[in-house]
């Protein structure tokens, strides 16, 4: 029979609600037997600590012990008089079988500071993302399974919370809750106008280490997620966007697409290429909606002349629907203006450029305060 933990956090209390300080716990075969039955100091049940245990000043065992099946228990005061007796039935939570969140498993074999093996094909039990508790020479180490594979043995790799496995690895416990097919329900978000949960919030871990993803699931595929921080809390939202500008003033001829030679804000989805077609912001794979923002600061224009700027999509020669045309009038040789688009429907590979038309002779200059951005909405 597998060993079960007899937790040393359980306190033996008498009929008056007082701890049995310095008392003794005698353990016997079940069903009122007078045959002593020992407890053990190790999960393998190889080191007996006998059938009589002395309680500490808090009425507790001084160390975590292990039992083998059911027991009949007699609890005595320090003067050897009996406080009470009881039947300890493994798994029913009676007596000192205090609840534990760990399930004792098989004996592991140390491989490295982050891996061990167990006999047989136990990949179903030791599955990815399940939590484990290991006992080592250096102490208890908790971790999460990152890989589990069977050949002639089951080899398990874990990511330790802190510390490492060592050659003194003696035991491994599995978390009661599995990471797959968990009994824990998903978090439901109740719509204020209805008592029926219509949406769910799903949080999944990201392999890239960028943090979990919050996904809204509902009958409406466009359902959004609203985040709110309570009190002094902060909601840190990582916006996917690219903001480009010029790190030096750039001349603009009468009819031209404005180039952008400097990346102002991170571009994790390669929306802009400084070397090739640097006048474009390109929609990355998987994106269906974006929002554009343009700010122009032009100097060197002829007084009373005008500059018109359009945001054009792909090879279109007209302003994209949803973005206002920018019209700059030069009064003192300087013009400023810009705009923001509505949310635009797009497909991967679409690109946007800023096309400028100047109504007079001369060469106006796009200075460093000008910028063009694309924010991924969906």
Q: According to the model, what pLDDT value does residue 98 have? A: 42
CATH of domain 241-376: 2.60.120.40
Q: According to the model, what pLDDT value does residue 198 have? A: 45
Q: According to the model, what pLDDT value does residue 203 have? A: 52
The reply to whether 4-88 and 102-175 are identical in fold is no
CA distances for 221 relative to 203, 218, 256, angstroms = 17, 6, 40
Q: Are 191 and 198 in contact (CB under 8 A)?
A: yes
pTM: 0.42
Residues of the chain with pLDDT under 50: 1, 91-99, 192-201, 205-210, 219, 221
CATH of domain 4-88: 2.170.14.10
> Rounded to the nearest 5°, which phi and psi values hold at 339?
-175, 170
Q: According to the model, what pLDDT value does residue 60 have? A: 87
14-19 long-range contacts (CB < 8 A, ≥24 apart) are 14/77, 14/83, 14/84, 15/83, 15/84, 19/55, 19/58, 19/59, 19/60
Q: Give the tokens for residue 2.
A: 């597998």
Give buried/exposed letters for 305-342 (b at 16+ CB in 10 A, else e). Answer: bebebbbbbeeeeebbeebeebebebeeebbebbeebe
Q: According to the model, what pLDDT value does residue 334 have? A: 66
Q: According to the model, what pLDDT value does residue 356 have? A: 76
Q: According to the model, what pLDDT value does residue 95 have? A: 39
Half-sphere exposure of 319 (CA within 13 A, CB side): 16
DSSP string, 275-332: SSSTT-EEPPTT--EEEEEEEEEEESPPTT-EEEEEEEETT-SSPPTTSPPEEEE-SS
Q: Going by C-beta distance under 8 Å and a sequence separation of 6 or more, which residues neighbour residue 56?
A: 21, 22, 62
Q: According to the model, what pLDDT value does residue 352 have? A: 87
Q: According to the model, what pLDDT value does residue 92 have? A: 42
Q: According to the model, what pLDDT value does residue 1 have? A: 46
Q: Among residues 251, 269, 253, which one has the least CA distance to residue 261?
A: 251
Q: According to the model, what pLDDT value does residue 199 have? A: 46
Give residue limits of the domains in the chain. Answer: 4-88, 102-175, 185-237, 241-376
CATH architecture of 102-175: Beta Barrel (2.40)
């Amino acid at each position: 029979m597998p060993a079960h933990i007899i937790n040393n956090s359980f306190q033996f209390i008498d009929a008056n609600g007082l701890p049995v300080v310095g008392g003794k716990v005698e353990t016997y075969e079940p069903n009122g037997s007078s045959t002593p039955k020992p407890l053990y100091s190790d999960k393998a049940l190889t080191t007996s600590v006998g059938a009589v245990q002395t309680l500490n000043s808090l009425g507790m065992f001084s160390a975590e012990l292990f039992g083998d099946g059911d027991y009949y228990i007699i609890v005595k005061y320090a003067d050897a008089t009996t406080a009470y007796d009881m039947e300890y039935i493994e798994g029913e939570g009676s007596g000192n079988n205090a609840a534990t969140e760990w399930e004792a498993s098989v004996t592991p074999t140390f491989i490295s500071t982050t891996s061990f093996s167990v006999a047989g094909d136990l990949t179903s039990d030791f599955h990815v993302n399940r939590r484990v508790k290991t006992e080592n020479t250096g102490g208890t180490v908790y971790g999460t399974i990152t890989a589990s594979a069977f050949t002639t043995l089951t080899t398990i790799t874990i990511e330790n919370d802190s510390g490492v496995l060592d050659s003194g690895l003696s035991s491994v416990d599995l978390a009661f809750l599995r990471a797959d097919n968990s009994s824990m329900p998903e978090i439901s978000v109740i719509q204020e106008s209805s008592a029926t949960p219509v949406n769910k919030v799903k949080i999944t871990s990201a392999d890239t280490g960028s943090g979990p993803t919050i996904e809204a699931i509902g009958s409406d595929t466009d359902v959004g997620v609203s985040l709110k921080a309570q009190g002094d809390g902060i909601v840190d939202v990582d916006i996917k966007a690219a903001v480009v500008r010029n790190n030096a003033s750039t001349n603009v001829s009468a009819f031209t697409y404005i180039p952008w030679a400097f990346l102002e804000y991170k571009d994790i989805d390669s929306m802009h290429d400084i070397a090739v077609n640097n006048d474009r912001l390109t929609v990355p794979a998987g994106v269906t909606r974006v929002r554009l923002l343009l700010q122009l600061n032009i100097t060197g224009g002829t007084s009373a002349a005008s500059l018109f700027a359009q945001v054009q999509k792909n090879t279109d020669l007209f302003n994209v629907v949803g973005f206002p045309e920018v019209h700059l009038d030069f009064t003192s040789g300087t013009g400023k203006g810009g705009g923001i688009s509505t949310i635009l429907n797009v497909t991967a590979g679409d690109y946007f450029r800023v096309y400028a038309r100047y109504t007079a002779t001369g060469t106006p200059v796009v200075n460093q305060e000008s910028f063009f951005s694309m924010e991924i909405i969906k």
